[in-house]
Amino acid sequence: MPKSDEKDAIEPIARNKRARYDYHILETWEAGIVLTGTEVKSLRNGKATITDAYGIIKDGELWLLNLHISPYTQGHQFNHEPERTRKLLLHRKELRRLIGAVERQGLTLIPLDLYFKHGIAKVTMALGKGKQQHDKRDTERERDADREIARAVSRRR
């Protein structure tokens, strides 16, 4: 019999590693996703890619585009379209704030993580501003410096 703690754990499905390299992350939100049955089953098998995905606001609602969820192998004719547009669920207050930031400041909505929380599929959406090439080089330099410091500390021990 499974413990209640096991059900409360967060099960990661996919992570967008490039997002933090390509964008300055300003703020993050956790949103639910409207999915079909075969999409949920495919996600439980870990068959999703969010590297090319992004969010848009259309008619006062938040939508996720280019999230690739592979078709479920036992889905037959009831299977889903792999890259269909999916609706994201946020509280109205959060959505209004997000709409204002995207429309006025010209920021981008990027998915960072896709996971199950308490058995429900969630996505962490971030408000990001695109980095210039020199910003990316600075980030790489900082990462290399941190690695060198960590090596030096581990050698001392």
| pLDDT tens sequence across 98-147 | 888 887 777 888 999 999 998 889 999 998 888 787 778 888 888 899 99
In the chain, domain spans: 8-130
Q: What residues contact 102, with CB distance under 8 A and at least 6 apart?
A: 57, 108, 109, 127
The CATH number fitting domain 8-130, selected from 2.40.280.10, 3.40.50.11540, 3.40.50.2000, 3.50.50.60: 2.40.280.10
Q: pTM for the complete prediction?
A: 0.75
Structure tokens at 148: 């060198």
pLDDT recorded at residue 5:
54
Nearest-angstrom CA–CA distance, 27 and 43: 26
Nearest-angstrom CA–CA distance, 107 and 57: 12
Q: What residues contact 95, with CB distance under 8 A and at least 6 apart?
A: 60, 61, 62
